[in-house]
Structures are given as C-alpha cells and as structure tokens.
C-alpha cells in the first residue's frame, strides 16, 4: 500500500517507464505462439507505404528497424511475421499500465502510449525506490504479459537515459555522481533531445560524445543551436529542472496529419484527395479539443526523400476543413516544384483554446456557427462510438489499420478523459 506525504527541499526520485517493443509485445501477449519469433507491426503490407512501426528483438537482431520500408525488412529477415496494427488492443493495454502507475503516485506524466514519467519522491512505503520499480515491472509482466524497462534518477532527463540502458526488462539507476562513467562516454547522437541534424551540427563542432557536449563553451553552443544549445549542455551535465506534470498531456501547440502515398505521384487529383483527407482528420481533432489555430504548414517529401516545409500565418484563427484546405492548397501551388512526391503533411500551428480566443463575430456569423455546434457534437459522439464519422464518404476515410501520426496524440487525449 502506497500513500503520499508532501515534503519540501528533498532530492527528487523520478522514474521513466518505457515499454519494450510495445506493439509487438502486445501482439505476442495476445498470441503466445508468436513469442521468440521475428515479429513486425506495419500498415498495409501489400503497398510500398507499409513501413515498420515496431518489431520484436528477434527481428531487430536481423537488422529490422522502425520506419524501415517493409520490402527492405523482408529482405533482411525473410521469415519476418508481419502483422497489421490493432490500435484498440494497444490502447486497452496502455490504459491498464498507466492505471498501475497511478496507483503508486498521482504524479504520472504520459509521454506517449508506451512511456511515461512518475515522481515517487513523496511515496512513503517500506520498499526502496528500486523495490517499487521492481514491483511495478513485475506487476505489468504478470498481469499483462508485457515487458518494460525503468530508469530511476533525480530528474526526467537522466531517468529517460537510464531506461534506455538496459532492455528488455531492465531497471537502471543513474545518479548525478555517476554521469561521468555511465552517460558521458555515449555518442552525442544517443542523447535524448539530440536528433540527426543536431548531432551533425555538434559533430561539426568536434562534439562526438556527451562528455564533449558537457564541457563545450555555452556561448559557442548558443551561436549554433540557439537556446537549445544551453539546454542540451545542462542536460549533459545532469541538470533538468522540469517537473513531472500530469497536466502536460494537455499541452500542445499544433495538430497535424501526414501520409505516405502508395506510389510517387504528380497526379493533382490524387494529391487534392489526400489533402482533403488530411484536413478532414485535422478538423475533427481541432473540434474535439475545442481549439483553433492561425498558422498552417505543409510538408512535402519528394521521391528522392528531400523534404520541405512551408507555412503561412493568418489574421484569424481557423478550425474548419475548408479553411485548412484553402491555405494548404495555396502553399502547395506556390512551393511544389512539379517533381513526384511520396508524402504530404498538413499541420495547424499556433493552437489556442477557443474560450481564450477573442473572436470578433457579427451576429450572422455567430448564429451560423452556434447552430452547428449540436451537429458537431453529435458527429463527434458517433465517431468516437463507431470509430469513424458516419457522415463522411468512404473515399475520404483513412483505413483503421494504418498507423497515423495522430494516434499517439489522440491516446494522450483519451488518457485525460
């Protein structure tokens, strides 16, 4: 039995819980015959747009990686078992996991469907933090047959790094006094918060390890990376003051959707249809969250993987599909170079709650919008119940078995409900 006692001026104890090969592990728990075999989760195996969402460790041992095209994965692992994603199955498992975490402490911050932070600083129990972590790991394994790794540290960054150090079923403690031995020798590209492009910039500054970053002059880092340079240097030195915030699940500044086409195309009818579908998805999520945005961005990935993003900031906030499509189409016509594309994405940025937006509506506009609120609510209710909008034509529907960029964010919405 755990209970909370609020104390101040105490060193924090933070857990980062990370499920191991989550989607694949859920499928193996559902069908134990898959255990010990190379398993991959991917959408639409018959088409090129099918990419690896996740894979088992047996598949990874053969070189199969997340985001790898299916044809390439099958070439590396001919006996690969490919399954379509079952999102509802993953949501159900995730809810149970976060419920177990919340029974230990109310300070739980989901990061995605398969990972989250816990602040157990004020949990009073006879067990040590290590024992609490062992019990949680054991409970998830015994009740759900799912493996996880847990990092234990005095802050979120170090806990995140620690959870990656021992997989599967690892528990790693990373104290500040141990960072020179456990953290600094790692390549800077393996540091949480350092993407491929940032790693390239750091390498050009002769920063190849996390230790190099920890000792680099902060002014030089800010010259190249801006304020993020100082943030990364602090993290490399084990400094991260960000709290475990259960309400952070509600913090978002953009809503977007993207999709890879089944073939490279210059067909404008095909592109317009996809743009319409993406905007439809964005509109539903904007209305579900009762928000609007005033910047629209498009992402175009060409046949050679060259990717561009272009955006436009608007005078007024928008939430309707027709407005999103109008701005996205304008950006598309202005910036598309006529070369074949393989992926298109639309994002509405600069998001604000509608209650916080001072709208200057005339009476006609107000009545028009107010009259549609009941319709929107009914459609959203039916969509949530049946998994699709019953009033949309099938041609505009995205198949339920396709991994979507919005899935992780939609899960975070559900978590707070």
114 is an annotated ligand-binding site residue: yes
Catalytic position from the list 27, 115, 211, 283: 115
Residues 272 and 313 in one domain: yes
Higher pLDDT, 156 or 411: 156
Q: Given a cut of 70, is residue 6 above it in pLDDT?
A: no
16-28 average pLDDT score = 96
CA distances from 58 to 103, 201, 359, 382 (A): 33, 34, 55, 41
Is 51 a domain residue?
yes
Residues 137 and 219 in one domain: no
Is 242 a domain residue?
no
pLDDT of residue 357: 63
pLDDT of residue 380: 56
pLDDT above 70 coverage of the chain, percent: 80
Highest mean pLDDT among 11-20, 84-93, 354-363: 11-20
The set of residues, in sequence order, having a beta carbon less than 8 Å from that of 325 and lying 6+ positions away, is: 275, 276, 279
Residues 289 and 174 in one domain: no
Q: pLDDT band at 415, cuts 50/70/90?
A: low
The pTM of this model reads: 0.67
Mean pLDDT for the chain? 84
User: For residues 134 and 152, what is the distance between their CA atoms, to the nearest angstrom?
Assistant: 11
18 is an annotated ligand-binding site residue: yes
pLDDT of residue 263: 87
52-79 average pLDDT score = 92
In the sheet that holds 341-353, the strands lie side by side as 254-265, 341-353, 291-302, 307-318
**143-172 per-position pLDDT tens digit:** 999 999 999 999 999 999 999 999 999 999
CATH of the domain at 401: 3.30.1490.100
Q: How many domains does the chain have?
A: 3
Is 241 a domain residue?
no
Residues 205 and 318 in one domain: no
Q: Is 200 an annotated catalytic residue?
A: no
Q: pLDDT band at 360, cuts 50/70/90?
A: very low
Residue 45 is part of which domain span?
1-178
The set of residues, in sequence order, having a beta carbon less than 8 Å from that of 176 and lying 6+ positions away, is: 154, 158, 238
User: For residues 412 and 90, what is the distance between their CA atoms, to the nearest angstrom?
Assistant: 13
pLDDT above 90 coverage of the chain, percent: 62
β-partners of residue 391 are none
Residues 52 and 109 in one domain: yes
Residues 192 and 329 in one domain: no
In the sheet that holds 81-83, the strands lie side by side as 52-55, 39-42, 81-83
Residues 140 and 262 in one domain: no
CATH of the domain at 163: 3.30.70.270
**255-290 per-position pLDDT tens digit:** 899 988 888 999 999 999 999 999 999 999 888 888
Residues 287 and 322 in one domain: yes
User: For residues 363 and 361, what is the distance between their CA atoms, to the nearest angstrom?
Assistant: 6
């Amino acid at each position: 039995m755990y209970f909370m006692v609020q104390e101040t001026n105490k060193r924090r104890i933070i857990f980062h819980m990370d499920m191991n090969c989550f989607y694949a592990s859920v499928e193996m728990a559902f069908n134990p015959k898959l255990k010990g075999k190379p398993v991959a989760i991917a959408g639409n195996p018959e088409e090129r747009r099918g990419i690896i969402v996740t894979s088992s460790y047996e598949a990874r041992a053969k070189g199969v990686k997340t985001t790898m095209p299916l044809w390439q994965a099958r070439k590396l692992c001919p006996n690969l078992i490919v399954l379509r994603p079952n999102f509802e199955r993953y949501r159900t498992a995730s809810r149970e996991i976060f419920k177990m975490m919340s029974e230990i402490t109310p300070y739980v911050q989901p990061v995605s469907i398969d990972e989250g932070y816990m602040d157990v600083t004020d949990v009073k129990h006879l067990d040590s933090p290590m024992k609490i972590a062992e019990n949680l790991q054991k409970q998830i394994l015994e009740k759900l047959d799912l493996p996880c790794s847990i990092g234990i540290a005095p802050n979120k960054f170090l806990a995140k790094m620690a959870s990656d150090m021992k997989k599967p079923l690892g528990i790693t403690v990373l104290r500040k006094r141990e960072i020179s031995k456990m953290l600094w020798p790692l390549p800077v590209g393996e540091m949480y918060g350092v993407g491929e492009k940032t790693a390239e910039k750091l390498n050009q500054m002769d920063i190849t390890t996390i230790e190099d970053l920890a000792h680099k002059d902060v002014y030089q880092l800010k010259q190249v990376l801006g304020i993020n340079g100082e943030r990364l240097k602090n993290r490399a030195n084990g400094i991260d003051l960000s709290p475990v915030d259960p309400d952070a699940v509600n913090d978002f500044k953009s809503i977007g959707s993207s999709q890879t086409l089944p073939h490279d195309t210059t067909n404008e009818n095909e592109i317009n249809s996809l743009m319409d579908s993406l905007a439809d998805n964005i509109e539903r999520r904007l209305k579900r969250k009762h928000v609007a945005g005033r910047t629209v961005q498009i992402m175009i990935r060409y046949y050679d993987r060259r990717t561009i993003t272009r955006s436009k900031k608007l005078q007024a906030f928008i939430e309707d599909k027709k407005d999103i499509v109008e701005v996205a189409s304008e950006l598309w016509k202005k910036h598309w170079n006529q070369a074949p594309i393989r992926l298109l994405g639309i994002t509405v940025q600069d998001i604000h709650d509608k209650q916080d937006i001072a709208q200057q509506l005339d009476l006609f506009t107000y009545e028009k919008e107010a009259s549609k609120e009941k319709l929107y609510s009914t459609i959203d209710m039916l969509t949530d119940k049946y998994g699709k909008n019953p009033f949309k034509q099938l041609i505009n529907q995205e198949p339920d078995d396709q991994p979507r960029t919005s899935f992780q964010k939609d899960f975070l919405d559900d978590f707070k409900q």
